[in-house]
Amino acid sequence: MRFYIIKRLIGMVPTLLLISMIIFVVIQLPPGDIVTSTLDRMQSQGVEVSAEQIINLRAQYNLDKPFVMQYVSWVGGFVIGDMGYSYLFSKPVNELVWERLGYTLLISISALLFTWVVAVPAGIFSAVRQYSIGDYLLTTVMLVGLATPSFLLALIVMYAGYEWFGISIGGLFSPEYRDVPWTLARVGDFLSHLWIPMIVVGLGGTASTMRILRANLLDELHKPYVVTARAKGVKPLKLLIKYPLRIAINPFISTIGLLLPVLISGEAIVSIVLGLPTTGPALIEALINQDMYLAGSFLMLLSVLTVVGMLLSDLLLAWADPRIRYE
Amino acid sequence: MSELALDTQLEAISPARLAWIRFKRHRLAMVSGGFLIFIYLTAAFCEFVTPYGTDTRNVQAINAPPMTIRFQIFDDKGDFHLQPFVYGYDMHVNEDTWMREYSENPEKMYPIYFFSSGEHYQLWNLFETDLHLFTAGEEGYIHLFGTDQLGRDLFSRVFYGARVSLSIGVVGVLLTLFLGVLLGGLAGYIGGLVDRAVQRLIEVLQSLPTLPLWMALSAALPVAWSPIGVYFGITLILSLFGWPALARQVRGKFLALREEDFVMSARLLGASKMRVIFKHMLPSFNSHLIATATLAVPGMILGETALSFLGIGLRPPVVSWGVLMQQAQNYQVIVLTPWLLIPGLFVVLSVMAFNLLGDGLRDAVDPYSTGGQS
Amino acid sequence: MSDPVPEDNVLSIRDLAVDFKTDIGMTHALHDVSFDVPRGKVTAIVGESGSGKSVTANCIMRLIQPPGKIVSGKIDFAPIRTDGYDIVALSNRDPRLLDLRGDLISMVFQEPMTALSPVYTVGNQVAEAILCHRNVSRQEAWQEAADMLTRVGIGDVSRRIHQYPFEFSGGMRQRVVIAMALVCQPELLICDEPTTALDVTIQAEILTLIRDLQQEFSNSVLFITHDLGVVAQLADQVVVMYQGRVLEIGTVRQVLKDPLHPYTRGLLAAIPGLVQKGSRLETIASVVGDADLETPYPLTHMADGRQVSLSPTLLREAGHE
């Protein structure tokens, strides 16, 4: 097992390097750069800019160096924890990303938990009671859930909240708690706001998870080892959990890794709609304003998050399935 | 001898017929297929299906709610005939909110005329005509899904939007299919270093959070590009991250097929690699490809909708379902004009139909798969 | 005519009928199957694929799942340890059903490769059978499991008991399954083609093992097979089935030496022998006329205790002695 973990950790390095290259290329794609947009802005305000200043600015952002050198200094800075300077907020990127990333992580993980808590029992029920009314009902909800874009769901929830409950849904804090230090009351306020993005972000994942679990379980339910165990006199509930479910959950564990990018994507767009202080809204602002260090850092951190998540789900799978461990 | 021939004729059902028989058993998939054919046809003929063009404004109806179709069963003389009609709007300003509000006015009765003439348009840039499926006549107006803040008919715009959103799904999947088959096929067929490189690329692309990267790429599309350029740009961006899943499937299939005798014999006869892949190996699993491709369309439609909704995908004056929902960004708008979410209903319905159709097709061509992953 | 259940039968099946619902309608998997399983002896059910052998076994364990359904009939079970009952009449929630499965009756399946869950150790799965039925500690259960694994011929048990099924060969896995079936000392052991999926040499070993164990524990065995060689080696009594019907019941000697039903004769003729050099293998159809198989006849008791389903004409011919 230890060997397996080390092998997987080493395997992450080239993956992350490739990802960083892709991201660096992507954030360099827009025509122009920070300096040109800064100059545009200054000139539109009537500020005269000298050629010397331009050269200084370009040097400040490393733009006078070749492309490859720019990449190396960006990645190098990343490794030592220096993510560059955000022109948009006039602050080091370091000071901007962590809190937002924390909220993104919180919402994504709580959405993942929601997905599990809802999808697993629902998937089991609809597989065990295949073709029952409950199965049809759950499958229908699942189909609609799969087809509803998360932003539409967020809009509907906002509409429903206002129209039926008279509350305005959005944000992660009530106004009075927005800019105060953490207290127990603030945590409570936070939690009372968290459940809506959690459900909205988690619902699409819940539908796909339930669909996978239902199909896997249906595959396993009539396998010979289940019949053997039943013939052994194992009680029905224990039989279901210990035998088919235990196997059906394995490929399902491996899909958690794939679910994470989906959840993080969903989180980004839902946060934009609901106005949550997470990475999504800041990323889109950074992208539109070509604040490439900020945008690049967000993209890179989100990718690291997903890669680590996939690693964790692979390790979980190795722990759950002896066949993989012994490979 | 003749008896034998008769026997084989009775026994042989082609794989395609067998798949069709299995497919017909999926009633939901059949219904979904029918729905998709219907909505693609309306999208293709949207100029004819809708009463108005995308930019026609009705200044008497700004942010007006959807109209109800009513039926007059007896006319003034008491004769029986079924005549559908709508009531026109009465506008008044709400003293509290200072918003325009509309109510139906039974005085203004606009009958619906079928196959009547209305605005001039060019169907597919070919035929000049003014024939519409229905209109409310010269003096009347009809807004079945209501209007937006510029007084444009939402019903018409939804069907024009269908043309863009639904075609992006198909064009995007074709591109994905091409990339996935090419790269997955090469990896599976050549193996070795190419295989490992493609595998690694797939792994990397699948571990990227798709939407943020889509956002980054579409933000990079130059503002000056023409609508057509943006359309293809967005489609390309969507396909760029869609192919890995498909490539993985194709690769696995190719690895198995590479060992088959007919592939070996084609190779020994001196066929080029491309010829072996596209002429000999692909046809033996294109039914699976069709099913997989069908299941990939929803991702494309949802992607376009999300990007356009955020304002970094397609941009007005192009009309797509995502662009239409851009207006419904905050809850004040949604609470006052909830009908602006109707395009979302069309997104949900078509995505559902594609999912169901894809499930049905997959079960038909491969009865042993149940959609589980292993 | 209804016969009283004799004291020495552990199981007595009467008029058992099972239907399967398929896309094209109902398929009758069993029609009026009746036979007895004498206590302490080996009864073999012989028949080709689809003859209803396994369905019969699954009925006894109440393992028939939808779309299959037991339509009618009864299976009278007379264990020594507790009072007897009709297995068919048990409700799905009857606690006696859980005692029946694995404790009073247990089963060895055809596919040793898939009959064990890949994610639990062998010890876990064998000990579970004990823990389901006996009130013993986990440690005692594992000890009993280890003893039984040793008994079925698995060496180095203290190490192998902690291994996973995929670390065992097919023959070894079948030994594990047999150990699992016998560990609670069931009164009836059902073996559903336990050697079909194994190599020939392993087959012989497993058959010897089953026979030795039967003699050691003197339990009753219902052995399902399509292999008449296995029947000759192992069985005391034979039930011949075809298309969900019982065609002939008798002792091994009666059925193999002097079969009454044309189908049984066909089965015997279809065994490839060593001496018929150059001759073609017999097919059953070439021996049995279709007419004898298409129309069902009720089982008739013969003077020598055997039962057979024959047309009146053939019955007159056979009703000799």
User: Averaged in consecutive runs of 10 residues, what is the pLDDT profile of chain A (327 residues)?
Assistant: 81 86 82 69 72 75 74 82 77 82 87 89 88 88 87 85 72 74 80 84 85 85 87 86 85 73 83 85 82 83 82 79 63
Which residues make Cβ contacts (< 8 Å) with residue B155, sequence separation at least 6? B50, B51, B143, B144, B145
Hey, are the CB atoms on A159 and B216 less than 8 Å from each other?
A: no
Share of chain B above pLDDT 90, in %: 6
Site from A218, A226, A230, A232 to mutate, C interface, most C CB atoms within 10 angstroms? A232
pLDDT band (50, 70, 90) for residue B349: very high
Q: How far apart are CA C128 and CA A75, in angstroms?
A: 55
C232 neighbors C268 (Cβ within 8 angstroms): no
Cβ contacts (< 8 Å) between A302 and chain B: which residues? 209, 212
Nearest to A138 by CA among A196, A200, A214, A217: A214
Distance separating the N- and C-terminal Cα atoms of chain B: 48
Which of B43, B133, B41 is closest to B84 using CA atoms?
Answer: B133
Residue C321, pLDDT score:
43
Q: How far apart are CA B126 and CA B218, in angstroms?
A: 32
Residues 6+ apart with CB under 8 A from C142: C123, C127, C161
User: Which pLDDT score, from 0 to 100, does residue C142 have?
Assistant: 92
Most confident of the ranges A34-48, B119-133, B233-247? B233-247
Instruction: Tell me which residues of chain A, numbers 17 to 46, contact chain B at a CB-CB cutoff of 8 Å.
Output: 18-19, 22-23, 26-27, 29-31
* Fold of the domain built from segment(s) C9-104+186-317: Rossmann fold (3.40.50)
Question: Which residues are within 8 A (CB) of A134 and not within 5 positions of it... i.e. 6 or more apart?
Answer: A125, A126
**What average pLDDT does this structure show over B140-145?**
83
As a whole number of angstroms, the distance between CA C8 and CA B361 comes to: 57
> By the CB < 8 Å criterion, does A154 face chain B?
no
Higher pLDDT, residue B12 or C229: C229
- A135: chain C residues, CB-CB within 8 Å: none
Give all chains having 3 or more CB-to-CB distances under 8 Å with chain A: B, C
pLDDT at C40 over 60: yes
Q: Which chain C residues have any C-beta within 8 angstroms of a chain A C-beta? A: 61, 63, 65, 98-103, 106-107, 109, 111, 114-120, 125, 128-129, 132-133, 164, 166, 177, 180
A residues 224..243 contacting C (CB < 8 A): 224-225, 227-235, 242-243
Model confidence at B37: pLDDT above 90: yes
Residue C233: predicted pLDDT: 86
Would the CB atoms of B209 and A288 count as touching at under 8 Å? no
* Amino acid C45: pLDDT: 92
**Total number of residues shown for chain C:** 321
pLDDT digits (tens, 9 = 90+) for C61-83: 898 887 888 888 888 888 888 88
For residues B8 and C24, the model is more confident at C24
Q: Which residues of B touch A255 (CB under 8 A)?
A: 373
Contact C109 A228 (CB under 8 A): yes
- Identify the band that residue B347 occupies on the pLDDT scale cut at 50, 70 and 90: very high
pLDDT digits (tens, 9 = 90+) for A254-278: 777 777 777 888 888 888 888 888 8
What does the pLDDT read at residue C94?
A: 85
Please judge whether C118 and A224 are an interchain contact, meaning their C-beta atoms are less than 8 angstroms apart: no
Cα–Cα distance for residue pair B186/B196, rounded to 1 Å:
11
Nearest to A321 among C107, C116, C119 (CB): C119
Contact C112, C192 (CB under 8 A): no
Neighbour count for residue A6 (Cβ, 10 Å): 10
Contact between B374 and A19 using a beta-carbon 8 Å cutoff: no
CB of A177 within 8 Å of any CB in chain C? Answer: no
Burial of C298 per CB tally in 10 Å (0-12, 13-18, 19+): exposed
The per-residue pLDDT for B101 is 80
For C244, the token pair is: 């969900």
Yes or no, beta carbons of B348 and A151 under 8 Å apart: no
- CB contacts, 8 Å: C61 with chain A: 231
Contact C264, C240 (CB under 8 A): yes
Per-residue pLDDT at C294 exceeds 70? no
All residues of chain B having their beta carbon less than 8 Å from the beta carbon of residue A301 are: none
Average pLDDT over residues B36-57: 86
C-beta separation of A65 from A73 below 8 A: yes
Residues of B in contact with A149 (CB under 8 A): 302, 305-306, 309, 344, 347-348
* B164-183 pLDDT tens trace: 899 988 899 899 888 888 88
User: Cis bond leading into B222, ω under 30°?
Assistant: no
More confident residue, C133 or B260: C133
Strand ranges in B50-112 using DSSP code E only, listed in sequence order: 70-74, 80-93, 100-111
45-74 of A, contacting B, C-beta below 8 A: none
pLDDT score for C291: 52
What integer is the mean pLDDT of C232-261?
87
| Of B24, B344, B286, B12, the residue nearest B165 (C-alpha) | B344
The C-alpha of B308 sits at a distance from chain A's nearest C-alpha, in angstroms, of 12
Cross-chain CB nearest to B209 (options A151, A272, A303): A303
Above 80 in pLDDT, residue C168? Answer: yes
Mean pLDDT of C147-176: 88
What's the pLDDT band for B18 if we cut at 50, 70, 90?
A: confident
Can you tell me the ipTM of this complex?
0.81
pLDDT at C4: 43
A320/chain C closest Cα distance in angstroms? 8
Supply the pLDDT for residue C239.
92
Q: What is the pLDDT of residue B1?
A: 37
State how far Cα A194 lies from the chain centre: 15
The answer to whether the Cβ–Cβ distance between B208 and A159 falls below 8 Å is: no
**Angle, helix A246-274 to helix A150-165, in steps of 10 degrees:** 70
pLDDT of residue C5: 40
Tens-place pLDDT, residues B180-239: 888 887 777 777 888 888 888 888 887 777 788 888 888 777 777 888 888 888 888 888
Tell me if C109 and A223 make a contact (CB, 8 A cut-off): no
* Alpha-carbon gap, residue C107 to C85, rounded angstroms: 19
pLDDT at B40 over 90: yes
Three-state SS for B25? helix
pLDDT at B7: 41
Q: Is residue B364 scored above 90 in pLDDT? A: no
Query: Which of A68-82, C225-239, C283-297 has the weakest average pLDDT?
Result: C283-297
Whether C286 has a pLDDT exceeding 60, the answer reads no
Q: Which of A227, A228, A235 lies nearest to residue C98, judging by beta carbons?
A: A235
pLDDT at C151: 86
CATH entry, A101-288, from 1.10.760.10, 3.30.1490.20, 2.40.50.140, 1.10.3720.10: 1.10.3720.10
Going by C-beta distance under 8 Å and a sequence separation of 6 or more, which residues neighbour residue B232?
none
> Do A243 and C111 make contact, defined as CB atoms within 8 angstroms?
no
Residues in chain B with CB shorter than 8 Å from the CB of A260 are: 209
A72 touches chain C (CB under 8 A): no
Q: What is the mean pLDDT of residues B327-354?
A: 85
Specify the higher pLDDT residue, C45 or A36.
Answer: C45
Percent of chain C with pLDDT over 90: 9
**Cα Rg for chain B, rounded, in angstroms?**
26
Which residue of A225, A246, A326 is in closest CB contact with C116?
A225
Q: What pLDDT is stored for residue C288 in this prediction?
A: 57
Write the CB contacts of A171 (distance below 8 Å, at least 6 apart in sequence). Answer: A178, A193, A274, A275, A276, A277
Cβ distance of B312 and A264 shorter than 8 Å:
no
> What average pLDDT does range B27-51 have in this prediction?
88
- The partner residue sitting opposite C106, judged by closest CB among A224, A231, A242, is A231
Torsion-angle region of residue A309: left (phi > 0), alpha (psi -120 to 50) or beta?
alpha
